[in-house]
Structure 1
Amino acid sequence: MSLKLKKSYKFAFKSAIYITLFSAFFLAGLLSLCLQFSWTVVLLFGMCVFTFSFFVLQYRVERFIYRRVKKIYDDIALLESSTLRNKSITTDMATLTRELEKFARDKKIEIETLKIREEYRREFLGNVSHELKTPLFTVQGYLLTLLDGAMNDKTLRKKYLQRAEKGVERLIYIVQDLDMITKMEVGDLNLNFTKFNIVELIQNVFDLLEMKADRKGIMLMFDMKYIKPIMVYGDQEKIQQVVTNLVVNSIKYGNENGTTEVAIEDLVNNKVIVRIKDNGEGIEAKNIPRLFERFFRVDKSGARTEGGSGLGLSIVKHIIEAHDEKMYVESTYGKGSEFSFTLEKTK
């Protein structure tokens, strides 16, 4: 690609002035010694020296320096740096140095970002492989056992088929969640915005998860009695999924005989914030930034025994962001966690 050269005459101009001043003072000194000093001669001599020096220096700079500068830009252009390719090229050394330093910084950041993405890709593929492998091997094990002769025993046959069905259900659950996240990331998630009562929605979630909470002795409760409805604007089905995922997490990681408390508070700019707080094991500070990554688990060994796809919090984050709202996490390790999100309030 041919690059346009924007020349700089600063170097030649300053150098010519220095040579001219030196030559003029030197000539003035000689004339003074010869007792024939003349300002006219000095000025004419200075103008001649300046003109000659300027053009010679500029020619030499263009021939030996600018060509090398242009080659540097050509080499950089091969790396497809949009920052440099869209600009006219300067031969000013200070400007060139700044641009090259910026180019180097940008490339370093780009390389570091690519390394992080590569590490995330490897970890993500490993997690997907693990999540799919467990139910697949479970189903395969039960089916092979049936084929090896257990199918003749009616009791074992029904038992193993039921367990295999659970493994298939978990596979379907993981695939459906992955499909949903993919649609969210490409902007293919259609939201149906309506007005609804967030208090009623949360109570419905409590009713659905009451038996699950009872098994651990966890009480699902509001922070206070909400007599009047609190109307919000959003996709009711998706927000119910958000609340369900967060309450399920609070039950899953909550302490036995603990509580899951939900609060709804007014904010400025016609917003409300829904807080879901538990008194469970809490989350270490180092793990909080990664909570919403797909398949990331704080307790990689124990969490899988609780089931789930490992995509719940990632789905929550995508749904809230699709509503142009904010998601927050506060946690103290050993004391509990609080997940909260904002919604637009309506009358």
Structure 2
Amino acid sequence: MNIRKKLTLASLLMILLPIAVSVMLCVMVLFFHGSENLNRLEELYDNDNGLLNVQTILYNYQNQILTYEPVEEIIEAETGNTESNDAWENWDEDDWDDDDEEEEVDYNALLQEEIRRQNSAFGGVVRELTNIGYYYEIYYDHVVLASDLPEDAAEKITDIAGEGYEKLASFAVADGNSSAVKRSYILEEGTLSILAYCENYVGSSSSSQVIRDILSILGLFVAVLVVSIVISIFILTRWLSSGMKKSLNQLSEGVRQVQDGNLSYRIGSKKKDELGKACQEFDEMTEYLENSVREREKYEEAKKQLLAGISHDLRTPLTSIKAYVEGLRDGIANTEEKKRRYYDAIRTRTEDLAELIDNLSLFSRFDRGEYHYSMERIDFGGFVNSFFKEHEIEFKNNRLSLVKTVWERKNLFIQGDRQQLKRVLGNLIDNTIKYREKPESVVTAALYTADGRLYLELSDDGPGVPEEERDKIFDTFFRGDKARQNPGNGSGLGLSIVKEIMKGHGGSIRAEEGVGGKGLKFVMEFPLDRDEDDR
């Protein structure tokens, strides 16, 4: 996973995880402690204009209501009892017995006592009804004890409860937003009735409690959400930083190793993100640098060998020429026959020097890519046959026999430079003759095609080349152990030139073990040149 995807995932998790945790916790709270809140909601939405609330209030305060005991004097005064009033008005002090203690009636004290009794019996009911938006009226045997009904309440109650609702002991009715509830209580000396009326029910008590419950849950949700966000940020930040920190430390260590010259150091990261890719590219860079250093060292070594080979191959004929010249000067060659042999030897060594210089010049042009091939379409099978036929006498003089095994004859066309291809074949045959150990040798040739490529194999029956040296024989001035024993046999440039010519033709050459495990086999590979009909 790349860093961009990790950051996207971390951002989503920072949002989703806290929300999920908060929701789960709130659900758990509601599951274990939410029945009361759900009941309140049910009451809030299923209660018909608060009728259930009013009836519940009247029921809950029933015992308190039944404790009411009216002050008879006040009740009688409120009911307009004339007999009682006349008795009080016509009372004379002479009517008291002399033995009775004279006592005055304190109406204010009686009124205060009545108020106290009403507050004790009805105070809680009145508060609860007022809290939920209901008006009330309390009366005892048709005497109104307390009321806050609006002036038009009686008419509206009649509309929803019907005519004569005053005579009903109990009812609970609702119509639209208006509702009325009445309940009567039988006391020892009379009947107490409570009428509750509401025009627009609000349900403030339940709704307020529900709002408080909702706010509590929201507060809990927000608190858990904040804590979850902080924890998520901490965990996800460590998750992101740990992976990046490891890769950065690996890169830092890799840079230090390269600075110390250890180009073989590899991080070996398997990560798929950008930093993992950077580590892999670092490994590719160090591998490239290591290969470059090896190539440079190899080039330097080849350069040293080249200089040593040039020095050796120049010194050998020059030493011979110097010796023959000194022999002529000192009179060692004292006959015409000896002088002729000395002159012929000097000419031969001079020709060797000229050939060496020509080969060096040619190889240098090949190596720098400055040689321009004269390419043409060549029937390679016919070309090779012509080459062998042209050199038939030379092969015979050098006791070399040619044997053909597989030899295809059709559609063997390539793009090639005839002169340089002759040089390739000539150098390979010369290599066989120079390094053979027997006076006679046999060269086996095979020409065939495979996978759209043309192959020419030349195998000899000579001493062969050890496997570890087969790739090196194409290097400039390389000589194996057997070649070093007889350095006059070659300059060390012949096979190097062959390799460069094959590269210039888009082909290749390699050395393998000879037929039957004896000798050396050269395998040349060329790209076929097919015309439209062949394709």
TM-score, structure 2 as length reference: 0.46
The answer (yes or no) to whether the contact 1:202–1:240 under 8 Å persists in 2 is no
Residue 112 of structure 1 is aligned with which of 294, 299, 302? Answer: 294
Tell me the number of residue pairs that the alignment of Structure 1 and Structure 2 aligns. 309
The answer (yes or no) to whether the contact 1:281–1:334 under 8 Å persists in 2 is no
Distance 1:143 1:109, change over 3 A: same
Aligned to 2:423: 241
Taking the aligned partners of 1:96 and 1:224, their CA distance within structure 2 comes to: 53
Taking the aligned partners of 1:96 and 1:230, their CA distance within structure 2 comes to: 49
Residue 188 of structure 1 is aligned with which of 359, 366, 370? Answer: 370
Taking the aligned partners of 1:50 and 1:225, their CA distance within structure 2 comes to: 77
Residue 256 of structure 1 is aligned with which of 436, 439, 458? Answer: 439
Q: Which secondary structure does the structure 2 equivalent of 1:309 belong to? A: coil
Q: What pairs up with 1:210-289 in 2 under 5 angstroms? A: 210-211=396-397, 213-214=398-399, 218-223=400-405, 233-254=415-436, 255-269=438-452, 271-289=453-471
Q: What pairs up with 1:50-89 in 2 under 5 angstroms? A: none
Amino acid at match of 1:118: E
Aligned to 1:125: 307
Instruction: Point out where structure 1 has 5 or more consecutive residues left out of the alignment.
Output: 1-5, 58-66, 80-91
Distance 1:114 1:149, change over 3 A: same
Distance 1:106 1:142, change over 3 A: same
**Structure 1 stretch 290-299 or stretch 202-211: which is displaced more?**
202-211
Taking the aligned partners of 1:103 and 1:292, their CA distance within structure 2 comes to: 29
Q: Which secondary structure does the structure 1 equivalent of 2:462 belong to? A: coil
Aligned to 2:524: 341
Residue 361 of structure 2 is aligned with which of 179, 183, 186? Answer: 179
Distance 1:346 1:253, change over 3 A: farther
Taking the aligned partners of 2:336 and 2:292, their CA distance within structure 1 comes to: 61
Give 1:148 deviation, angstroms. Answer: 4.1
1:48-105, CA deviations, whole angstroms, 9 ceiling, x for partnerless residues?
7888x79x99xxxxxxxxx9999999999999xxxxxxxxxxxx86566555444444
The answer (yes or no) to whether the contact 1:205–1:240 under 8 Å persists in 2 is no
The answer (yes or no) to whether the contact 1:246–1:313 under 8 Å persists in 2 is yes
Distance 1:229 1:221, change over 3 A: farther
Amino acid at match of 2:519: G
Taking the aligned partners of 1:264 and 1:69, their CA distance within structure 2 comes to: 55
The answer (yes or no) to whether the contact 1:142–1:164 under 8 Å persists in 2 is yes
1:319-338, CA deviations, whole angstroms, 9 ceiling, x for partnerless residues?
12211123233214961222
Give 1:268 deviation, angstroms. Answer: 4.7
Q: Which secondary structure does the structure 2 equivalent of 1:188 belong to? A: coil
Q: Point out the structure with max Rg over C-alpha.
A: 2
Q: Which secondary structure does the structure 1 equivalent of 2:455 belong to? A: strand
The answer (yes or no) to whether the contact 1:210–1:220 under 8 Å persists in 2 is no
Give 1:289 deviation, angstroms. Answer: 1.0
Aligned to 1:294: 476
Taking the aligned partners of 2:501 and 2:291, their CA distance within structure 1 comes to: 30
Taking the aligned partners of 1:173 and 1:120, their CA distance within structure 2 comes to: 21
Aligned to 1:63: none
Amino acid at match of 1:209: F
Give 1:177 deviation, angstroms. Answer: 0.8
Give 1:174 deviation, angstroms. Answer: 0.9
Give 1:164 deviation, angstroms. Answer: 1.9
1:237-281, CA deviations, whole angstroms, 9 ceiling, x for partnerless residues?
221121111122222333333312323334453x54322222221
TM-score, structure 1 as length reference: 0.68
Taking the aligned partners of 1:313 and 1:233, their CA distance within structure 2 comes to: 21
Structure possessing the higher relative contact order (Cα contacts under 8 Å, 6 or more residues apart): 1
Instruction: Point out where structure 2 has 5 or more consecutive residues left out of the alignment.
Output: 30-215, 239-247, 261-273
Taking the aligned partners of 1:206 and 1:337, their CA distance within structure 2 comes to: 21
Question: Does residue 312 in structure 1 map to residue 486 in structure 2?
Answer: no
Residue identity over aligned pairs, in percent, reads 20
